[in-house]
Structure 1
C-alpha cells in the first residue's frame, strides 16, 4: 500500500513538472528570442540556448523607440485606474453589504449582469460620450471608466464586508458615527487584504488594455505599452526581436507588483470565496 502511494506521488509530481514546463516554455522562448538578432529568430532548427545573447534589442527599443516613455505612460494609467477602482468598488461593496435600501438585490443583480456584456458592445456609445466630453487623445477615457465600472471588485468587496462582525458596526453607530465614517474608519482598515487583491486585478487589466488606447490615443508620445508593441507588427511581417523584447519589458512590472503583493492577493481571494 505504501509502495503504491509512493509511486502515485512520483507520478503526481512528474505531472506537475510537465505542466510547469509547458506553462513556462512560452515565456522562456520569448526571453531568449529577445536576446537574439532578427535573422536568428527565423533560424531552423531553432536554438533553445543562444550562443551569443545580446542586449541590443533592449537598447534599441529604449533609445530608438522611446519605450521608457511608453512604460511610464502605462504605469500612470494602470495605477490611477486601479486606485480609483479601490475607492468606488469598496464603497459600493460596503453599501450592498451593510446598508438597507429598496431594490438593493435587484440593483446588485443588474450590476453583476454587466459581466456578460463585452466591452465591444458598448465601445461605440462610450466613444461618442468621450468625444462629447472632449476627452479624445487624453488619458481620461482610459482611467475614468475604471472608476465607474468594477463588477468583479464590487462583488469581491461585498463578499468580504458581509463577513465582518456586526458588533463593530453597531458600536460605531452607538458612538455617533455616520455610515461613511463606519466605512472609512472601520471597514477600510480591515479590508487591506481584499483591496490588495483588487488592486492587482485592476492593475493587470488596465496594464494589458489595448482596445481603449487604440481608439482614444492619437499622439505617439501618449502611447501605452500594448499600443506601442503593435507598431512592431505589420500587415505582412513583424519585427519579432523588438516585439518580444518589448513584451518582456511589459511583463516585468506585472511580475514585480504580483511578487510584492502575492501574499495579500492570495489571502484576499480566499477570504472572499472567489475561485479562479
Structure 2
C-alpha cells in the first residue's frame, strides 16, 4: 500500500510538472524574444537562448509606448474600480446575508438572474446612456458602474458572510452596535480572504480590460496600457523583440499581484466554495 501511494504521488507530480512546463513555454519564448536584437529574432535555426541579452529593449519599449502616461491612466482606472467594487459589493452582500427585510430572497434571486445576461446585450444601451450624460472620453463610464456592485462578487461575499456565526451579531447588538458598525468593525475583518480574492479578480480583469477603454476612450492622453499596447503593436509590428518586451511590462503587475496575494486567494477560494 505504501509503495502504491508513492507511485501515485510520483505520477501526479510528474503530470503537474509536465503541465507547468507546457504552460510556461509561451512565457519563456516571450522573454527570450524580448532579450534578442532585431537580427536574431527570426534567425534560422532559431536562437533558443540569446547569446547576449539586450535588456535595453525594455527601456526602448517604455519610451516608445509613453509608458508613464499609460500607467497613470491604468492605475486611475484600476484602483478606482477596485475601491468601488469592494465598497458596493460588501455592503450589498452584507445586507442580503445578515439583514432581514421584505422581499430579500426575491431581490437576491433577481440579482442572480442578472448574471446570465451577456455583457454584449447591455453594451449599446450603456454607451447611449454615457453619451447622453456627456461622459464619453472620460473615465466615468469605466469607474462609476463599479460603485453599483457586481452580481458575481455580491454572491461570493454573501456566501462568505453566511458562514459567520449569528452569535457575533447578537453579542454586538447587546453591546449597542448598529448594523453599520457591526459591518465595518466585526464583519469586514473576518472576510479579508474573500476581499483579497475579489481584489485579485478585479485587478486582473480591469488591468487587462481592452474593450471598455476602446469603446469609451478616444484621446491619446486618456488611453490605458491595453490600448497603448494595441497601438504599439500597430506601429512596431515587425519589431518582435520590442513588442514582446512591451507585453511583458504590461503583464508583469498581474504576475506580481497574484504572487503576493496567492495565500489570500487560495484561502478565499477554499472557504467560499469555488471549485476548479
Match of 1:8 in 2: 8
**TM (normalized to structure 2)?**
0.92
CA-CA distance at 1:41 after TM superposition? 2.9
Give the match for residue 250 of structure 2. Answer: 250
Match in the other structure for 2:190: 190
1:130 to 1:35, Cα distance in 2 relative to 1, 3 A? same
1: CA distance, partners of 2:177 / 2:3: 64
* Alpha-carbon distance between aligned partners in 2 of 1:249 and 1:5, rounded to the nearest angstrom: 43
C-alpha deviation, 1:238, in angstroms: 5.0
- Per-residue displacement from partner, 1:75-103 (whole Å, max 9, x unpaired)? 22111111211111111110111112222
Q: Tell me the residue number matched to 1:136.
A: 136
In structure 2, distance between residues paired with 1:206 and 1:20: 26
Residue in structure 1 matched with residue 267 of structure 2 by the alignment: 267
Distance in 1 between residues matched to 2:6 and 2:180, nearest whole Å: 57
**Deviating more after overlay: 1-10 vs 92-101:** 1-10
Alpha-carbon distance change, 273 to 25 in structure 1, aligned in 2, over 3 angstroms = same
In the TM superposition, 1:99-248 aligns within 5 A as 99-234=99-234, 237-248=237-248
Offset, 1:117:
2.2
Distance (whole Å) between structure 2 residues aligned to residue 107 and residue 213 of structure 1:
31
8 A Cα contact 1:232 1:242, kept in partner: no
Residue in 1 that maps onto 2:85: 85
8 A Cα contact 1:232 1:240, kept in partner: no
RMSD, aligned CA: 2.0
How many Å apart are 1:196 and its aligned residue? 1.2
Q: In structure 1, what is the equivalent of residue 70 of structure 2?
A: 70
- 164 and 3 in structure 1: CA distance in 2 versus 1, 3 angstrom threshold: closer
Name whichever of 224-233 and 140-149 sits farther off: 140-149
Q: Does structure 1 conserve the Cα–Cα contact (< 8 Å) formed by 2:74 and 2:207?
A: yes
What CA distance in whole angstroms lies between the structure 2 residues aligned with 1:113 and 1:235?
43
How many residues align structurally? 276
Larger displacement relative to structure 2 (126-135 or 37-46): 37-46
Q: Give the aligned partner of residue 21 of structure 2.
A: 21
- After TM superposition, the score normalised by the length of structure 1 is 0.92
Q: CA deviation at 1:224?
A: 0.8
Q: Measure the CA separation in 2 of the matches of 1:208 and 1:236.
A: 20
Indicate conservation of the 8 Å contact 1:194/1:268, yes or no: yes
Distance 1:176 1:8 in 2: 56
Contact 2:34–2:241, Cα closer than 8 Å, also in 1: yes
Q: Deviations over 1:140-192 (max 9, x none)?
A: 11212222241221111101111111111112222332222221221112222
Q: Which residues of structure 2 form unaligned runs of 5+? A: none
Unaligned stretches of 5+ residues in structure 1 = none
How far apart are 1:201 and its partner, in Å?
0.9
Q: Distance in 1 between matches of 2:48 and 2:103?
A: 60
User: Would you say the 8 A contact 2:94–2:183 is kept in 1?
Assistant: yes
Question: What whole-Å deviation, never above 9, does each CA across 1:223-256 have from its counterpart, x for those lacking one?
Answer: 1111111113349955432322121111211122
